[in-house]
Amino acid sequence: MIDTIVLPPIEALTAKDIVASLDLVAEIDRLRREKNAVILAHYYQNSTLQDLADYVGDSLDLSRKAASTTAEVIVFCGVRFMAEVAKILSPQRTVLLPDAAAGCTLEESCRPEEFRSFRESHPEHIAVTYINCSAEVKALSDVIVTSSNAEWIVRQLPQDRPVLFAPDQHLGRYISGKTGRAMTFWPGSCVVHTQFSVSALEHLKAQHPQAVVVAHPECPEHILAYADHIGSTRSLLDFSVKTTAAEIIVATEPNLIHQMVKAAPGKKFIPVPGASGTCNGGLSALCPYMALNTVEKLYLCLINGAPRVEMPGWLMQEARKPLELMLELSPPAKKQ
Ligand code: 13P
Ligand code: SF4
């Protein structure tokens, strides 16, 4: 695996250099102006990071923002594959990631060398790859998709070619069911979305009989079967605002609820609990990778100019092709 992150130098500031009296929010504001930086945050970041960001969005929204920004520096409050996408689509920008270890189980499940063999053993297939993967896996793919454009893009693929879908088998199965396209799946799954149980969901539905259920398509089929709406984080947010239901059971990472409450303050949002003893040892289904980013680390990465995404030119060039095809085949962007 190619390491795409440049760590801060030995002499860089660390958490122990931050004095308790420092107003971190004011400092982050000063640094973002001084360095001409834009802060992008995914909906799974903690609420403080979301509120500090210039833009909050799902993977597709944030890819588009990264591709179109004129800022010199992009600070990506999200996970590594998202920051890599920002660098690939905006190579002239400096791209910072507050915590270098912010990975993703889907990315980890799909090693480039194994993915290469998977492709080689299916030479007739089109490789449709979920954006939650490494830059190297993107470089080996024909087209990238996110949870918000996958169905739209798969419907545009030539009918006479079989499809490989990697790395999330649950999203793949869901899209295959929606489009009627047979697919061969990579056996990956997300640690957050595979921990929801039918019994916890049924319990919540019994407690809130009027509630509707929204679910991310990374959830397995047995959870999606209960959903009134399935979609990307952005789509779950939009649906929750529009629905006439006053109570919404949310089967995804619970930080999304921060934006739901802001957009529809009169409604009740109920997170489906995670499996006890897994993510962060608690009942909340937090993404352990997203949770690595903090306000302190955001401040430090702006000061230090690292952790920073860097990758070889050939890799950026090869990974850009399926990403640009994704942007070309995507539905028009909705206003935020
Ligand atoms: P979205 O593209 O729906 O924001 O999903 C990203 C993700 O990592 C879900 O686990
Ligand atoms: Fe990866 Fe799952 Fe975390 Fe999304 S929620 S970043 S898919 S581990």
pLDDT tens by residue, 143-152: 999 999 999 9
Name the pLDDT band for 284 (thresholds 50, 70, 90).
Answer: confident
- For residue 190, give the ligand 1 atom closest to its CA: 10
pLDDT of residue 279: 41
Per-residue pLDDT for 139 more than 60? yes
In percent, the amount of the chain with pLDDT more than 70 equals: 97
Determine the Cα–Cα distance for residues 57 and 85; give it in Å rounded to an integer.
14
Determine the Cα–Cα distance for residues 189 and 151; give it in Å rounded to an integer.
18
C-alpha 66 to ligand 2 mean position (Å): 20
- Say which DSSP state 100 is in: T
Tell the residue number behind the tokens 């454009």, with chain if given.
149
- Please tell me if the CB atom of residue 190 comes closer than 6 angstroms to any atom of ligand 2: yes
Q: Of 8, 132, 141, 166, nearest to 58 (Cα)?
A: 132
Q: Which ligand is nearest to the CA of 293?
A: 2
Stretch 108-113: mean pLDDT: 98
Query: Going by CA atoms, what residue is nearest to atom 8 of ligand 1?
Result: 132
Q: Tell me which long-range contacts 253-258 makes (C-beta under 8 A, separation of at least 24).
A: 253/43, 253/44, 253/192, 253/216, 253/285, 253/286, 253/287, 253/290, 254/284, 254/285, 254/286, 255/43, 255/44, 255/45, 255/46, 255/47, 255/50, 255/286, 255/290, 256/43, 256/44, 258/43, 258/47, 258/50
Could you tell me the pTM of the whole model? Answer: 0.96
- For residue 104, give the ligand 1 atom closest to its CA: 8
The answer to whether the bond into 220 is cis (omega within 30° of 0) is no
Name the pLDDT band for 278 (thresholds 50, 70, 90).
Answer: very low
Rounded to 10°, the helix 295-304/24-34 angle is: 30
Q: Which domains does the chain have, with CATH numbers?
A: 5-102+290-311 (3.40.50.10800), 106-191+319-329 (3.40.50.10800), 198-271 (3.40.50.10800)
- Please tell me if the CB atom of residue 191 comes closer than 6 angstroms to any atom of ligand 2: yes
Stretch 227-248: mean pLDDT: 98
Q: Which ligand is nearest to the CA of 147?
A: 1
Query: Going by CA atoms, what residue is nearest to atom 2 of ligand 1?
Result: 59
